[in-house]
Structure formats: structure tokens, C-alpha cells
């Protein structure tokens, strides 16, 4: 029987996310291990390499995003508030300009790697599927069809994050909430 693990894979991936926020795409397994409070061998033994760790993080993010989005949306009776809350899940863990910038830089690296890009595509699809479902249920009379509306909301959330990183006035979540509500409230208004 092997020794019990002192730290879970999820905790190691969370430490990696924090290390990316602190160091950007040049993050090393040593920095991840330091963030997690474990030896480098623990991280490399579990994931094999930095690339393996990134793939595991991408898979875990895609696997959990829909449930997290639905859980926060279910706390709201107002459909606009539900969509906003779900979209805010995409900004979890990136609440200061440097962290946001480092995660955006990592995104650029991820997009240039075929396996990570494929993982991003799965994540993107799951985010849009939840938004599409919430927007269809919301019945906003001025909204485009739910698929297009989901694409717009997701694009707005990601674009607002980038804009905020360049000009970080106020809190990111407040900016996202205001931008999303402006669009969704406009769609709530009947065009007739």
C-alpha cells in the first residue's frame, strides 16, 4: 500500500493557477510546488511535466465549469442576474490587474499549443452551452437567438476582462457585472 497523499491533484492545480497569476506563462514546476508547499517531485510525479499539468488543469476546468455556472445561476430568480452570475464564473481567480494580465498571457501560450487549444475549445463550448440554456430560459424579447446571444455574452465577458487589465479602474467583477447588465437589460426591453 502506497503512502497517503498529503495534497490532492485539485489542490496542486489550484496552486498552479495561483502561480500562473503570479509569474505568467513562464511559470515553472518549482514555483507551482512552492505555491503548494510540496516538493517539485510531487508535482512532476503526478503530472509528468508542466505540459501535463496544464492539460490536467484544462480538463478539470472544462469538466467543472458547467456545474459551477449552473450552481451560481440557480441562486437567482431574476434571469438577467442568473446570466450575469454564470458569466462571472469565467473571471474566478483573476481579481487584480497583474494576475489578469498573467492569465491572459498564459491564454496566448495555450492557444498556440494544439492539445491545450483543443481543451480551450471544449471549455468554450461548455461555457456557451450553459449561457445558451440560461438565455433561452430568460426569454429576453430583444435578444438575438440564444446561440448568438451566448456568443455575445461570452465574448463580452472575455473582452471586458482584457479591457480591465489594460485600464483597471475599480474591481473587475464590478466592471463585468455592469457591462453584462447593460447588454442584458437592453435585451430585456421589448423592441416593439
DSSP 6: S
Does the residue 124 lie in any domain? Answer: yes
Question: CA–CA separation, 79 vs 52, rounded Å?
Answer: 39
Does the residue 130 lie in any domain? Answer: yes
Between 9-23 and 40-47, two packed helices, what is the crossing angle to 10 degrees?
110
Does the residue 122 lie in any domain? Answer: yes
Sequence-separated (6 or more) residues with CB below 8 Å from residue 100: 94, 161, 164, 165, 168, 172
Does the residue 1 lie in any domain? Answer: no
CATH number at residue 33: 1.10.357.10
Count of domains observed in the chain: 1
Question: CA–CA separation, 15 vs 35, rounded Å?
Answer: 6
pLDDT tens by residue, 74-120: 999 999 999 999 999 998 878 788 888 899 899 999 999 999 999 99
Residue with cell 471549455: 123
Does the residue 118 lie in any domain? Answer: yes
Residues in the chain with pLDDT values less than 50 = none
- For 146, the 3-state DSSP assignment is helix
CB atoms closer than 10 angstroms to residue 123 = 20
Nearest to 55 by CA among 7, 114, 6: 114
Give Cα separations from 6 to 47, 50, 113 (angstroms).
16, 20, 31
Does the residue 127 lie in any domain? Answer: yes
Question: CA–CA separation, 130 vs 96, rounded Å?
Answer: 26
Does the residue 2 lie in any domain? Answer: no
Sequence-separated (6 or more) residues with CB below 8 Å from residue 154: 87, 90, 124, 127, 128, 131
Query: Which domain, by its residues, includes 160?
Result: 9-188
- The CA-based dihedral angle spanning residues 51, 119, 89, 126, taken in that order and rounded to the nearest 10 degrees: -160
Does the residue 98 lie in any domain? Answer: yes
Amino acid at each position: 500500500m502506497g503512502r497517503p497523499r498529503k495534497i490532492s491533484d485539485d489542490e496542486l492545480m489550484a496552486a498552479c493557477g495561483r502561480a500562473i497569476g503570479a509569474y505568467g506563462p513562464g511559470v515553472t514546476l518549482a514555483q507551482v510546488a512552492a505555491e503548494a508547499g510540496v516538493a517539485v517531485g510531487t508535482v512532476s510525479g503526478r503530472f509528468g511535466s508542466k505540459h501535463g499539468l496544464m492539460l490536467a488543469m484544462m480538463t478539470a476546468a472544462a469538466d467543472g465549469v458547467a456545474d459551477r455556472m449552473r450552481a451560481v445561476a440557480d441562486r437567482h430568480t431574476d434571469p438577467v442576474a442568473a446570466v450575469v452570475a454564470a458569466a462571472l464564473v469565467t473571471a474566478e481567480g483573476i481579481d487584480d490587474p497583474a494576475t489578469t494580465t498573467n492569465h491572459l498571457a498564459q491564454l496566448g501560450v495555450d492557444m498556440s499549443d494544439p492539445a491545450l487549444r483543443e481543451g480551450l475549445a471544449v471549455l468554450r463550448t461548455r461555457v456557451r452551452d450553459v449561457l445558451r440554456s440560461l438565455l433561452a430560459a430568460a426569454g429576453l424579447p430583444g435578444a438575438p437567438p440564444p446561440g448568438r446571444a451566448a456568443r455575445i455574452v461570452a465574448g463580452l465577458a472575455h473582452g471586458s476582462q482584457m479591457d480591465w487589465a489594460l485600464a483597471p479602474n475599480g474591481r473587475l467583477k464590478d466592471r463585468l457585472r455592469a457591462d453584462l447588465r447593460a447588454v442584458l437589460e437592453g435585451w430585456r426591453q421589448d423592441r416593439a
